[in-house]
Amino acid sequence: MRCYCLLGICLLVLHSSVWAQVPEITERKVSEVTETEDPYLWLEDVTAEKSLEWVRARNEKTQTHLEARPEFADLNRDLLAILDSDERIPFVSKAGEYYYNFWRDKDHTRGIWRRTTLAEYRKASPAWELVLDLDALAEQEDENWVWDGAQILRPDLDLALIDLSRGGADASVTREFDLSKKSFVSDGFSRPEAKGGMDWIDRDTVFVFTDFGSGSMTSSGYPRIVKRWERGTPLDAASVVYEGTDADMYISASHDDSPGYERDFVSRTIAFYNNELYLRSDSGELTKVDAPNSASKSVHHQYLLLELRDAWTVNGQEFVPGSLLLTSFDDFMAGQREFEVLFEPTDNSSLASFSATRDFLVLNVLEDVKNRLYVMKPTAAGWQKSALRGAPQIGTVGVSAVDSDHSNAYWMTSSDYLTPTTLYYGELGEEPEQLKQLTPQFDATGLQVSQHFATSRDGTQVPYFMVSKENLERNGSQPTLLYGYGGFEISLTPGYNASVGRAWTTQGGVYVVANIRGGGEYGPRWHQAALKKNRLRAYEDFAAVAEDLIQQKITSTQHLGIQGGSNGGLLVGNMIALYPELFSAAVCQVPLLDMKRYHLLLAGASWMAEYGNPDADGEWDFIKTYSPYQNVDADTEYPAVLFTTSTRDDRVHPGHARKMMARMESQGHDVSYYENIEGGHGGAANNKQRAYMQSLAYTFLRERLFQE
């Protein structure tokens, strides 16, 4: 089964791109600045020697200071041991009789792709068959390859398309791999480095969407053209399937290889939550799936499923935002508009996801940010709903099909902040069996998880989770780390995080996760409440949680710190600029910060549906209220800040963190900086780098927040 869900692209999870191409400017725009207006503009030149000298100088200062702290060495060692541990669950995906897994540990820093059988996988220590050793490949080719996924050809299952990136960047290469010979096909399909991808049509044909040369990428830096490429022909001879516009975000195509339901699709992503899906005939004709652009469109076997983000009236019936609708795909394409409502949200519930098996659908519903799983069974009287047998009632629970074309088997995972992740294997209608559980990686004795609600400025109740000691003393002195994201309809649900446990909660710190607007905890309405001109609501929510922690005497300004990355880095930047009196320390990771120019840098243009366009009439008037780079000044006392980013991040431009650091440093504020030379948008390319950057962040926070 293939599920074509075009809006499952969350911030900063899009697959690919090169540097954003700036449209020709005919008149001066807000974002067109000079070095007089922005004296740190030169830091946007990522690899210029002057920029890198600036980076090295600040890296050295930060490293020298934090590495000298007495807790740093032990923390770094322990975090690396957690990341390299063999005790982790090796999650797998099924292809034929094999179950594939990609694995990193201390002996395989770049990782290995391996496979086993279900009988072996059930064992505590499965026997694995090595398919590809990425460390050996990197050494052989003298490249810092980072795994970016694989797609196995069905039904033959003897070939794969493997994506690799240099240093963890979004830009990647695709190579054809022979699974029987366990080697790359010397004259096989090979896509040069760019943002984009490929998809099997059959063993001799693929869809390819990538950088084909001048004008072939969108202004967001993603593919504008998709082509059909036949084996044995040069890439430039591939035939055009569809061309989008420069203003689109991402163009791609895919092949549904479900037996009996083979279809080709072309997707046009105009912006986040604005997409078009087309069915492609054998002759190349495209027919639009005529559902709202804001709806997420999924096709499974004979069904079309629509997740609505806006109200939709059709055939005289109105469906509310957040609903999941189902109908016959063929009937819909023939003009029929009769739907069955599989889910409709309530004030405290939203659809987190759904998964299709051969005969059923499983709905994953968030009820006040707690997962509940329901099985939907088709009957002559319509779809019947029942609770999934054996599903845990606490923590974050996820479910996915093992092989949606051939069975009703499913994987289920559960975890919370203190309970290690558990993997179950089950058949719908039967009790699931616990297959594996992560060995506890920190001592959770004496710790507890609780959920609370803070009241935001407009009266909205904002949920948050807190991990703390049992019988916590409310004296306002608890070192507290507040984390958030608040964007792109991404929900933050409880999950086991051994690094937080080892570095923070077991050391006496309180850990808090805020479910602020902009996220998806209560569906589309929660996200849409903080879009564009309403963006400040997300920051008001976060401030409300901070104020509640202080009012409840959990902590105080002196002991309260914040952390966030990417869009969460923008959140942290705004809390620094707008609410400096609430915090003493902030870790701002791979952030957006200069909202005047964000849409001109790398993939920034793809996020204008979220934040707005600084160059559109009147939009800079509200965007400037949440552009931290323009809102810091020398006369305000700010919390101490650690900025971290990656030179090779080709999604969020490292110039954001560089320029903010430079401006605040020049204003005399307490700021630190570390930029990893590799690592892409995740900030690190391997476990050693990841452990090191985590150690810098937690050491910085402990130094600032554990003070008397």
Active-site residue, 681 included: yes
Residue 682 has pLDDT above 90, yes or no: no
pLDDT digits (tens, 9 = 90+) for 215-235: 999 999 999 999 999 999 999
Question: Is 371:416 a contact under the CB 8 Å cutoff?
Answer: no
């807000």: which residue's tokens? 30
pLDDT for res 6:
31
Q: Is 614 helix (H, G, I), strand (E, B) or coil?
A: coil
Q: What is the mean pLDDT of the chain?
A: 94
Residue 587 has pLDDT above 50, yes or no: yes
pLDDT digits (tens, 9 = 90+) for 458-490: 999 999 999 999 999 999 999 999 999 999 999
pLDDT for res 685:
63
Residue of 566, 584, 606, 627 marked active site: 566
Residue 571 has pLDDT above 50, yes or no: yes
Q: What is the pTM of this model?
A: 0.87
Residue 21 has pLDDT above 80, yes or no: no
Instruction: List C-alpha distances in Å: 377 to 103, 263, 320, 429.
Output: 36, 25, 23, 10
pLDDT digits (tens, 9 = 90+) for 24-50: 434 679 999 999 999 999 999 999 999
Q: Give Cβ neighbours of residue 26 (< 8 Å, ≥ 6 apart).
A: none
Does the domain at 51-80+441-705 match CATH 3.30.70.100? Answer given as no
Residue 318 has pLDDT above 60, yes or no: yes
| Residue 650 pLDDT grade (very low, low, confident, very high; cuts 50, 70, 90) | confident
Question: Is 561:572 a contact under the CB 8 Å cutoff?
Answer: no
φ, ψ of residue 445 in degrees (nearest 5): -55, 130
Mean pLDDT across the stretch 662-672? Answer: 98
> Could you give the angle at the alpha carbon of 152 between the alpha carbons of 147 and 157, nearest 5°?
140
Structure tokens at 530: 């903080």
pLDDT digits (tens, 9 = 90+) for 132-159: 999 999 999 999 999 999 999 999 999 9
| Residue 672 pLDDT grade (very low, low, confident, very high; cuts 50, 70, 90) | very high
pLDDT for res 79:
96
Picking from 18-27, 170-179, 400-409, 650-659, which range would have the lowest pLDDT averaged per residue?
18-27
Q: Is 49 helix (H, G, I), strand (E, B) or coil?
A: helix
Burial class for 32, CB neighbours closer than 10 Å (0-12, 13-18, 19+): middle
pLDDT for res 678:
65
Structure tokens at 80: 């690396």
Whole-number Å distance between alpha carbons of 621 and 561: 30
| Residue 4 pLDDT grade (very low, low, confident, very high; cuts 50, 70, 90) | very low
Rounded percentage of the chain residues whose pLDDT exceeds 90: 91
| Residue 393 pLDDT grade (very low, low, confident, very high; cuts 50, 70, 90) | confident
pLDDT for res 19:
31
pLDDT digits (tens, 9 = 90+) for 85-101: 888 999 999 999 999 99
Mean pLDDT across the stretch 189-193? Answer: 98
pLDDT for res 687:
86
Higher pLDDT, 682 or 473: 473
> Could you give the angle at the alpha carbon of 214 between the alpha carbons of 212 and 216, nearest 5°?
50
pLDDT for res 632:
98
- For the chain, how many helices (H) and strands (E)? 14, 39
Domain ranges of the chain: 51-80+441-705
Mean pLDDT across the stretch 407-423? Answer: 96
